[in-house]
């Protein structure tokens, strides 16, 4: 004999499947929503609208249903000759918040990781290679994370892009601004030293 | 350096245990199964944050209490005097093992380290602060056991003082898992052989750092042993450590006999970049074989080093007494090397060190260790093995459940 009504139980079970949410948190969230029904309705609507999110046909960033291309690809002020390759849409968000980059993107939706069964064919790599001649791309900026898998993916992409005669660059690695030299780890310092630049 | 105070809480068989130490030689006496080795293990744990005797951290938690309680904190806390800027400075360290048994029966043990009362984000930050050299009879397997034990021993010794080595090890292991996964999937998935290259590059980069460091360290150890005369085992026998890097030799290839001292192993590259290039090239050459076997067949994860006495492999031809002497040499060298690389004299922790040795060797061993450390803890069931003539100014203690009592 269940102690709670079925809708509450269903909600709790659904919430529990979210990352970082256990049985206690899911119960707390479910009861909070029960006491704040307008919020619950907004949330329900937002969740339903998620189904309208699709991928941009050019760069595979997120876009809305009915739009072939994402907001960035549709923007005529963006430079079509430069493409920045990132792991996932959140990286696009981070770069856009910096507000400096004027080119377009290409979202791989992951990194190469054989342990997890992810090979190049599982990522949007073929599509990237096709974009180079089709869009007359001059420069590809590899902006995968500076992790083992991110580096390996960048290396693989470099090998594939090189024959296409396009300029390939990698994001600089080094000290975070506002950081403190004495707290930097040795590898970061080594990379910062190797990537040092002439004072201008 | 030397410990001035050690406090244990829920560590193995001890519930509360503490003792205040002076510098010098401390002999801890007690019958079997009282926790003598555990005490040494606790001291060593503060320098490596892992135990040579435990596969899992949960084994270090007091088992009787862990069975009764779903939540238990084990503490190893020490105050010690450490050489810093030419004088001794008092420092504190505490390692906590937080044991939890979940409602579903799963057990989790979490590690935390505090330095001078401040919690550190990672254990690595506190590596190398406490330096110890631990001898356990169990470690004889380093001489005659599987190569994996010797690799583990090298990593244990080198990583604490060499963060770039520790990092290379961890990155290498990850890259190795990736390449091995690729090798296993190959026959089902096939695909582009270029996918192998990035992992081989990473393996060569980090693998070369590991091999180069091991090569340098073993050479240095041979030099130190010879300089101090520790490598002369008596009867004109001379001991030498020989590095066997897995760079694509056949596994059953003979160990070169009677190599002269300090001569680097034949064909070992002369620089780190050259080693990296060689490893990268060999990995690519090995690809067809690795594909058939389904794993990576060369690189530092297959390395070995051997103990050679007058050119003969001790693991094969040595007596038990010789192996013990060889291991003791290794421990002395380790102590000297820590001092050389960090300026800190490690605390020497010896478990039943004098058993199986003749009188002359006992005296030589104790003299060498005493001449070296500022503090030495030795355990024994037979205090008679440590006569006044061999060990002057010795503190003798009887081990109790809550501390030590002077005998």
pLDDT at B93: 97
* CA-derived radius of gyration, chain A: 22
Identify the pLDDT of residue B249: 61
The answer on pLDDT for B103 being more than 50 is yes
Q: Which residues of A are less than 8 Å from B198 in CB distance?
A: 112, 151-153, 155-156, 159
Neighbour tally for B93: CB within 10 Å? 22
ipTM: 0.71
Evaluate whether B307 touches B326 at the Cβ level (below 8 Å): yes
In angstroms, the Cα distances linking A53 to A63, A66, A124 are 6, 9, 18
Select the residue of A148, A153, A187 nearest B174 (Cβ to Cβ): A148
What residues of chain B lie within 8 A of the CB of A119, using their CB? 185, 189, 191, 195
DSSP character at residue B259: P
Mean pLDDT, residues B232-240: 81
pLDDT score of B265: 58
Q: Tell whether A112 is within 8 A of chain B (Cβ).
A: yes
Both A88 and A139 in one domain: the answer is yes
**Is residue A103 situated within a structural domain?**
yes
Angle of the B147-158 helix axis to the B196-228 helix axis, nearest 10: 80
Q: What global pTM score does this model have? A: 0.80
Show Cβ contacts of residue B235 under 8 Å, excluding neighbours closer than 6 positions. Answer: none
Closest by Cβ to B197, choosing from A114, A159, A187: A159
Q: How far apart are CA B105 and CA B100, in angstroms?
A: 10
Cβ-contact B87, B102 below 8 angstroms: no
- What tokens appear for A145 in the block? 């994370």
Whether residue A33 is found in the same domain as residue A108? no
A113 touches chain B (CB under 8 A): yes
Tally the domains of chain A.
2
The 3 state secondary structure assigned to B71-127 is EEEEEEEEEEEEEECCEEEEEEEEEEEEEEECCCCCEEEEEEEEECCEECCCHHHHC
Whether A82 and A32 map to the same domain: the answer is no
- Examine the domain organization and report whether A93 and A44 are in the same domain: no
What are φ and ψ of residue A64, in 5° steps? Answer: -95, 155
The structure tokens 């049985």 sit at A23
**Shared-domain flag, residues A17 and A84:** no
Chain A, chain B: beta-carbon pairs less than 8 Å apart: 55
- Residues of chain B above pLDDT 70, percent: 94
Residue A97 and residue A161 in one domain:
yes
Show residues of chain B in contact with A187, CB under 8 Å: 164, 167
Q: What is the CATH number of the domain that holds A99?
A: 3.40.1360.10
Q: Using 50, 70 and 90 to split pLDDT, how confident is the model at A1?
A: low
Q: Is the Cβ of A157 closer than 8 Å to some Cβ of chain B?
A: no
Whether A39 and A82 share a structural domain: no
- Flag the least confident range among A173-182, B101-110, B166-175, B194-203: A173-182
Axis crossing angle, helix A125-135 with helix A148-161, rounded to the nearest 10: 40
Would A163 be classed as within a structural domain? yes
Nearest 10 degrees: Cα torsion B267, B272, B275, B280: 180
pLDDT in tens, A123-154: 999 999 999 999 999 999 999 999 999 999 99
User: What is the CA angle A128-A130-A135, rounded to 5?
Assistant: 90
Residue B264 has pLDDT above 70, yes or no: no
Indicate if A41 and A86 belong to the same structural domain.
no
Identify whether A121 is part of a domain.
yes
Same domain for A86 and A145, yes or no, is yes
Domain assignment present for residue A180? The answer is no
Q: Does B146 touch chain A (CB under 8 A)?
A: no
The answer to the question of residue A157 being in a domain is: yes
Q: How confident is the model at residue B262 (pLDDT cuts 50, 70, 90)?
A: very low
Give the pLDDT band (50/70/90) at residue B390. Answer: low
- Please give the order of strands across the beta sheet that includes B132-135: B132-135, B347-351, B375-380, B24-29, B394-399, B404-406
Q: Which of residues 116-145 of A touch B (CB under 8 A)?
A: 117, 119-121
DSSP characters for B20-70? E--SEEEEEE--TTSSHHHHHHHHHHHHHSS-SS-SSGGGGB-HHHHHH-S
Residue B100: φ, ψ to 5°: -135, 135
> Is the CB of B171 inside 8 Å of chain A's CB atoms?
yes
Q: Are B314 and B326 in contact (CB under 8 A)?
A: yes
Domain membership of residue A67 (yes or no) is no
What domains can be seen in chain B, in order of their start residue?
2-131+345-406 (3.40.50.300), 151-315 (1.20.1050.90)
Nearest-CB residue to B194 (from A153, A159, A187): A159
Range with lowest mean pLDDT among A133-137, B270-274, B290-294, B360-364: B360-364
pLDDT in tens, A2-34: 788 999 999 999 999 999 898 899 999 999 999
Candidates A113, A156, A186; nearest CB to B163: A186
> What is the pLDDT of chain B when averaged over all its residues?
87
Q: B283 touching A, CB under 8 A?
A: no
* SS3 category, B374: coil
Note whether A186 contacts B: Cβ–Cβ < 8 A.
yes
Order across the sheet with B14-20: list the strands. B14-20, B2-11, B71-84, B87-101, B107-115, B118-119
Q: Does A149 touch chain B (CB under 8 A)?
A: yes
**Separation between Cα atoms, residue B43 and residue B26, nearest integer Å:** 13
CB contact under 8 A, A119 and B191: yes
Per-residue pLDDT of B164-200, as tens digits, reads: 898 899 999 999 999 999 998 888 777 777 789 999 9
CB-nearest to B178 from A115, A160, A186 is A115
Q: Which domain holds residue A24?
A: 6-51
Residue A200 lies in a domain: no
| Predicted pLDDT of residue B89 | 95
- Mind telling me how many Å the CA of A85 is from chain B's nearest CA? 17
- The encoded tokens of residue B347 equal 């605390």
The proportion of chain A whose per-residue pLDDT surpasses 90, expressed as a percent, equals 74
Q: Which helix (H) or strand (E) holds B8?
A: strand B2-11
Nearest to B164 among A148, A155, A186 (CB): A186
Same domain, A109 and A166: yes
For position B260, what pLDDT does the model report?
43
Of B167, B185, B198, nearest to A156 by CB-CB distance is B198
Q: What average pLDDT score do residues A184-188 get?
A: 77
**Nearest-Cα residue of chain B relative to residue A147:** B171
Q: Quick one: average pLDDT of B142-153?
A: 91
- Mutation target to probe the B interface, by most B beta carbons within 10 A, among A148, A155, A183 is A148
Residue B382 in this model has a pLDDT that exceeds 90? no
For residue B258, pLDDT beyond 50: no
Taking Cα atoms as reference points, which of B301, B302, B369, B304 lies closest to residue B334?
Answer: B369
Assess whether pLDDT exceeds 70 at residue A107. yes
Q: Is A140 inside any structural domain?
A: yes
Specify the higher pLDDT residue, B253 or B325.
B325
Instruction: Quote the pLDDT of residue B376.
Output: 93
CATH assignment of the domain containing A17: 1.10.8.420
The two structure tokens encoding residue A127: 């599509």
Provide the pLDDT for residue B230.
86
Instruction: Locate B251 and state its tokens.
Output: 């596994």
Answer whether A153 touches B (CB < 8 Å): yes
How many angstroms away from the CA of A120 is the closest CA of chain B? 8
Query: Does the pLDDT of residue B296 top 70, yes or no?
Result: yes
What is the number of other CB atoms lying within 10 angstroms of the CB of residue A106? 24
Based on the domain organization, do A144 and A102 belong to the same domain? yes
Residue A193 near chain B (CB below 8 Å): no
CB < 8 Å to B185, chain A: 114, 117, 119
Same domain, yes or no: A83 and A166 = yes
């Amino acid at each position: 004999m269940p102690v709670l009504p079925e809708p509450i139980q269903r909600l709790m079970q659904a919430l529990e499947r979210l990352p970082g949410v256990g049985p206690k948190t899911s119960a707390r969230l479910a009861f909070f929503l029960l006491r704040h029904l307008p919020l619950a309705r907004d949330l329900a609507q937002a969740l339903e609208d998620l189904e309208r999110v699709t991928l941009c046909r050019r760069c595979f960033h997120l876009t809305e249903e009915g739009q072939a291309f994402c907001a960035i690809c549709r923007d005529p002020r963006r430079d079509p000759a430069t493409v920045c390759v990132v792991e996932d849409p959140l990286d696009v968000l981070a770069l856009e918040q910096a507000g400096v980059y004027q080119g377009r993107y290409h979202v791989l939706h992951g990194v190469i990781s054989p342990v997890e069964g992810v090979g190049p064919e599982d990522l949007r790599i073929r599509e990237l290679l096709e974009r180079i001649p089709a869009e007359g791309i001059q420069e590809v900026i590899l902006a995968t994370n500076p992790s083992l898998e991110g580096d390996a993916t960048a290396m693989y992409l470099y090998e594939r892009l090189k024959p296409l005669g396009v300029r390939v660059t990698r994001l600089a690695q080094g000290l975070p601004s506002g950081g403190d030299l004495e707290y930097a780890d040795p590898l970061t310092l080594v990379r910062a030293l190797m990537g040092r630049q002439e004072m201008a | 350096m030397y410990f001035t105070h050690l406090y244990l809480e829920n560590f193995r068989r001890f519930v509360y245990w503490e003792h205040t130490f002076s510098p010098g030689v401390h002999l801890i006496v007690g019958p079997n199964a009282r926790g003598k080795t555990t005490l040494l293990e606790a001291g060593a744990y503060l320098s490596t944050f892992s135990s040579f005797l435990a596969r899992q951290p949960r084994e270090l938690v007091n088992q009787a209490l862990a069975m009764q309680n779903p939540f238990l904190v084990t503490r190893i806390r020490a105050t010690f005097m450490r050489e810093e800027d030419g004088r001794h400075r008092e420092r504190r360290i505490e390692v906590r093992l937080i044991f939890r048994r979940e409602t579903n029966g799963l057990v989790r043990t979490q590690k935390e380290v505090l330095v001078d009362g401040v919690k550190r984000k990672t254990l690595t930050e506190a590596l190398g602060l406490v330096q110890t050299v631990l001898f356990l009879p169990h470690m004889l397997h380093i001489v005659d056991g599987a190569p994996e034990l010797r690799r583990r021993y090298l990593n244990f010794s080198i990583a604490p003082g060499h963060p770039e080595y520790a990092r290379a090890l961890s990155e290498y292991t990850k890259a190795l898992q990736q390449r091995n996964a690729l090798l296993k999937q190959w026959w089902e998935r096939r695909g582009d052989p270029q996918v192998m290259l990035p992992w081989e590059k990473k393996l060569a980069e980090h693998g070369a750092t590991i091999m180069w460091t091991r090569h340098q360290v073993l050479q240095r150890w041979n030099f130190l042993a010879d300089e101090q005369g520790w490598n002369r085992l008596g009867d004109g026998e001379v001991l030498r450590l020989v590095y066997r890097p897995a760079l694509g030799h056949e596994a059953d290839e003979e160990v070169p006999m009677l190599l002269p001292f300090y001569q680097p192993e034949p064909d070992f590259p002369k620089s780190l970049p050259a080693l990296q290039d060689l490893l990268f090239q060999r990995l690519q050459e090995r690809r067809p074989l690795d594909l058939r076997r389904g794993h990576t067949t060369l690189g530092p994860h297959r390395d070995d080093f051997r103990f050679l006495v007058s050119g003969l492999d001790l693991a094969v031809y040595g007596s038990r007494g010789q192996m013990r002497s060889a291991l003791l040499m290794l421990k002395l060298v380790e102590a000297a090397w820590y001092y050389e690389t960090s300026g800190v004299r490690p605390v020497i922790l010896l478990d039943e060190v004098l058993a199986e040795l003749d009188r002359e060797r006992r005296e030589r061993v104790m003299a060498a260790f005493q001449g070296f450390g500022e503090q030495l803890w030795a355990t024994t069931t037979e205090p008679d093995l440590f006569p006044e003539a061999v060990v002057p100014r010795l503190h003798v203690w009887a081990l109790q459940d809550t501390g030590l009592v002077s005998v």
